[in-house]
Amino acid sequence: MKNKELKILLSAPRGFCAGVERAIEIVEKSIQKYGAPVYVRHEIVHNKFVVDDLRKKGAIFVEELDEIKDKSRPVIFSAHGVPKTVPDDARNYNMTYVDATCPLVSKVHREAENLNKAGYHIILIGHKNHPEVIGTMGQLPEGSIDLIQSEEEAKNYYNKDDKKIAFVTQTTLSVDDTKEIIKILKSRFENIREPQKEDICYATTNRQMAVKNIAKNCDMFFIIGSRNSSNSVRLVEVAKKSGCENSMLIHSESEIPYNKIQQVNTIGISSGASAPEILVDNFINGLKNRFTIKIDEVEIIKENVVFKIPKKLN
């Protein structure tokens, strides 16, 4: 019996962004420079495959610095950024640290600090308890920044200090959802100050646009990425909203629904900014074993962004 034919629309750009590539390189270069083990505070990026691979090379992952028994070993801060208290603690412990915060997250940190110094009360649009949000809120004195997560919260927000207000955003949000929240804030606070340049990062935007571009032509859509990866979860939402209701996240423990794939003709595939391309290859190879596949890579924009690693590792 001839294998069923399956068309794959492969979304591009997908996968690693410049901030993730830089963060992984920082861990690898730190191990080369300082030897193993090096400690990493929080998962360097939200992907189990990447974390497990770095573990094998000599990285030990912790959530807080006080878990590190041997304070003479270096510690790396994850790409999501950290509150100001974390480098302060590292200095108090006399620890060597390397900051792998994505430069685009650092840009939001500096923006929030400058607005705070200029007398603005700040609204952060983002998701509670995400490490990036914790890091950004931790740049400022308590009480000077409020989190808004939804259109509902934007409608009910009130400016309790009667100070001038400004907003910044988490870098990995859904472009469309954020647009709606911003629209509400602007209609309620005419003089609200917005970032000079969009805070949602280029990679998040590009990956969402690429998925949006092909979702309506797909019967099913698969996003390769981790459950705790904000940008991967947003891609699933974008695929659903853009015309492919049957969209799902494929993570390290996912059962691949081959029976359902058997019943469709065209599937879309993309991956989150912290998912390595090998996971996409593995997924496609699993399909090749069962179907006759035709791959059409649909690229909407070329990415050529590269971020330098800290001088101390060169």
The strand pair at 165-169 and 121-125 is best described as: parallel
Would you give per-residue pLDDT tens digits along the chain (314 residues)?
458 999 999 999 999 999 999 999 999 999 999 999 999 999 999 999 999 999 999 999 999 999 999 999 999 999 999 999 999 999 999 999 999 999 999 999 999 999 999 999 999 999 999 999 999 999 999 999 999 999 999 999 998 777 899 999 999 999 999 999 999 999 999 999 999 888 999 999 999 999 999 999 999 999 999 999 999 999 999 999 999 999 999 999 999 999 999 999 999 999 999 999 999 999 999 999 999 999 999 999 999 999 999 999 98
- Domain-wise residue ranges, the chain: 5-16+202-299, 18-99, 105-200
Catalytic residues: 132
Residue 42 CB-half CA count within 13 A:
22
Question: Which strands form 121-125's sheet, in the order they lie side by side?
Answer: 145-148, 121-125, 165-169
Tell me which of 3.30.930.10, 3.40.50.11270, 3.90.550.10, 3.40.30.10 is the CATH number of domain 18-99.
Answer: 3.40.50.11270
229 close to 15: Cβ distance less than 8 angstroms: no
Same fold flag, 5-16+202-299 and 105-200:
yes
| 48-69: b (≥16 Cβ within 10 Å) or e | bbbbebbeeebbbbeeebeebe
Q: Which residues 6+ apart lie within 8 Å of 67 measured at CB?
A: none
| Cis peptide bond N-terminal to 195, omega within 30 | no
Say which CATH architecture domain 105-200 belongs to: 3-Layer(aba) Sandwich (3.40)
End-to-end CA distance of the chain: 57
Say which CATH architecture domain 5-16+202-299 belongs to: 3-Layer(aba) Sandwich (3.40)
91 close to 13: Cβ distance less than 8 angstroms: no
Give the distance, in angstroms, between the CA of residue 39 and the centroid of all CA atoms in the same chain: 21
239 bridge partner residues:
none
Q: What is the DSSP string of 187-232?
A: HH-TT-B--SS-SS-HHHHHHHHHHHHHHTT-SEEEEES-TT-HHH
Instruction: State how far the Cα of 312 lies from the Cα of 314, in Å rounded to an integer.
Output: 6
